[in-house]
Amino acid sequence: MVINNQSKVESDVSNSWATTICQYLSQRRIQTKVAYQAQLQSNNIYDEDREPQDWLFDAIFEILIQRLEEGHTVLVLNDSDSNTSSSSKLYRWQQQLLQPLLQSLLIPTNGIVATIDFEILENIALWETLLLQTMLSEYEQKILRQRYSICVSLYHYFQYVYEHSKDITDSLNIFIKTIKSAQLFEIVNIKNEIINNPIVFQIENSLESNAVAKKNISITLWLHRTWQAEYDLARHIIRIKQQTINELPIVLSPLLNAEQKAAIHMANRSAFSIITGGPGTGKTFTVAQLVIALQQAQNDNEVGSVSSHANLALAAPTGKAAQRMQESLQDAIQHAGVTMQLPEAKTIHRLLGIGQGGRPRYNTANPLSEDIVIVDEASMLGVEMANYLVSAIKPNARLILLGDANQLAAVDAGAVLADLCRIPVLQDIHKRLDVSRRFTTESGIGKLASLINSSITDMPAVWKLMQDEETLSFYQLSNHLSEPLSEKEIAVTNDNSINTFSTLKVLKILLEKYSHYINDSKKILIETNTLKSPSTAQYMTYFKELMTVLNTFKVLTAGHNGRCGDHYINRYLSEQHKEQLKLPLSKSPWYHGRPVMILQNNYELGLFNGDIGICLQTERGILQVFFENKIQGIAVNMFSDDMIATAYAMTIHKSQGSEFEHVAISFDDNNARLLSQELIYTAVTRAKKQVTIFSTTSAFTRALSTPTVRQTGLGLQFANLDSVTE
């Protein structure tokens, strides 16, 4: 039995839009309303005599939706692993298809979720018994019964394939033959970009390089929407890359190193270019040289012009990343002794004019007018947003992507930047910067980031580094609050660690780190109460002072829930902050000094996902929220609870594009599903000077030994397009 959160499972069931959509699409094959209702109301939902085309689409559609929600754009099945399950007698690729469907059958009974395995697919009576013990509604039970029926059909079909195939390759060939004949599936034709069915698949054959030539078979499946997004993304990148552009006359700064100069020459010659590198490698400083050259070229062509704005667009996936990008680029330009006013950096949503409907105003038919479009934090781009972006680049314009391919992939499906860096046809327009000015070879943070990125993580070297470096600290959490540490856990602790560490100790340390911020907010509250009618400018000054202090320390968490989650930490720090301000009890979440983060774009207020603000008490006790990109406060009643969150702590995902002097990273074994090398690397590299980790040795070790692997089809799309042009 596995303990789980019942409300989450119920939510997954009640929000089963994937089940609803796939049923709708499959029912469209039945042309009469009577036939549709007959299938929907069938009493025998466990009918095993249905033909594969009657349930196969439903099964694959549900699996692909689950994959999409996990960040994958495709499902890849191959015959490279012939291991079978002794209990179920299934090949690995068959288990790979069944497991996601089994996960969707988790049933909450009295707060406990039964572990579902293949055995329950053989015992309908046991399944019904478990289902009747739940508190689910009749509709929710019906959804689960439909999923179970699909799972049973697929399981029995796979057993038949296993028994009637010579080997794993033959079994995969039987499956391929089945989906080729099934409705609503369509095989990719690389010479035809028009796909008419909701599930797309491509078959690949390759020869092994051993003495006995053997063909390996691989089948890649997409949802039509993701196939189209990846296809269009590849097609538009190739279009941009093949354009001829005029090189700008560039006078290289003597401060540039050799790899930065190479990156500039590459970006100057190509309409599409990618510059990647870790923190402090000078990606922004490098691309500033192109911006300066563009400005100088425009000035030469505009004789008599007093001033000129570069025909340039700056963008990033979040508001915070866009703001940081503009500040860094402006600093780099001023450092070069050039006076120019950059255009406002925007979120990609704003740049493309994406409104409430989700469709961009700027696209292939109505492209952006800018000559150079520079996008920072490109690792945060999902495949659909990346496609919208490249589709809107006008002929003969430049698109430059900046980012760190080792950081977390996008929250949305796809791993665009990492994929583009690996595609052979794009290697000549990709330059990686390795020399970091922020983290020298002697920097503890830089060394830790390098160890995390190693293909095989050397954990003894990591522990030794944590012990030796003053800028790095590891605080050991016990696996359970009252459980003593094992000998192994005690052995890895060091002078910078605390051997027994309770949740209360964690919270008290974090509270101490925020004491400067809390005390400053208290001083401002006292001061504003003594002033007569402080001006808006005065409140903006207070806000900037508090933001400076707030950015010196930040708690980053792997997830929202549990003792190491941002919800728990924020709740504790909020209560302590209000107590130290001696505020009266109130049900309102708003109070003077509350740091907040915007969770969703609000175009009316001009606020965007990731923006950070601080609530200040103004005249007559009115509470307003101030933001860095605003000239005045916004009344708190303009914000709904789902639009904003307290931000002493934030998730590592939300921290992308931000920098802090000192970062505390909080996670434990309850976050196992979220942990990865990329997650910890992203958190560590948010810090400029100091990193503190609150975790268990097992969770930390698991994270550093778990690289994120997203299955995507972007590489296949480039290969297909390349073969067409040959």
Cα–Cα distances in angstroms (integers) from residue 647 to residues 510, 572, 589, 650, in the given order: 13, 12, 12, 6
Q: Both tokens of residue 448?
A: 């830790």
CA distance 311 to 308: 9
Residues paired with residue 553 on neighbouring β-strands, in sequence order: 662
412 alpha carbon, distance to own chain's centre: 6
* Cross-sheet strand order for the sheet of 660-666: 472-476, 687-695, 660-666, 553-557, 649-651
Annotated binding site: 277-284
CA distance 174 to 176: 5
Annotated binding site for ATP: 277-284
Helix runs in 70-137, H state only: 92-103, 124-132
CA neighbor of 606 nearest in space, from 350, 419, 289, 392 = 350
Q: How many CB atoms lie within 10 A of CB 479?
A: 16
Q: Which letter, b or e, does each residue of 7-37 get, where b requires 16 or more Cβ atoms within 10 Å of its Cβ?
A: eebbeebeebebbeebbebbeeeeeeeeebe
Give me the amino acid identity at 575.
E
CA distance 389 to 232: 11
Q: Both tokens of residue 58?
A: 């439903």
DSSP-based three-state secondary structure for 274 = strand
Cα–Cα distances in angstroms (integers) from residue 205 to residues 162, 208, 443, 700, in the given order: 21, 10, 47, 40
CA neighbor of 145 nearest in space, from 126, 127, 158 = 127
Using the 8-state DSSP alphabet, how is residue 112 labeled? E
CA distance 452 to 685: 11
Counts of helices then strands in the chain (DSSP H, E): 26, 23
| CB within 8 Å of 448: residues ≥ 6 apart | 462, 465, 466, 469, 472, 684, 691
Q: How many CB atoms lie within 10 A of CB 500?
A: 14
Q: How many CB atoms lie within 10 A of CB 545?
A: 15
CA distance 74 to 714: 9
* 3-state SS, one letter per residue, for 27-67: HCCCCCHHHHHHHHCCCCCCCCCCCHHHCHHHHHHHHHHHH
User: Which residue matches tokens 């680029």?
Assistant: 329
CA distance 375 to 403: 8
Cα diameter, the chain: 89
* Cross-sheet strand order for the sheet of 108-109: 2-3, 112-113, 108-109
127 alpha carbon, distance to own chain's centre: 36
Half-sphere exposure of 693 (CA within 13 A, CB side): 31
CA distance 373 to 384: 18
CA distance 24 to 26: 6
Note whether 361 and 390 are within 8 A (CB).
Answer: no
Rounded to the nearest 5°, which phi and psi values hold at 164? -110, 15
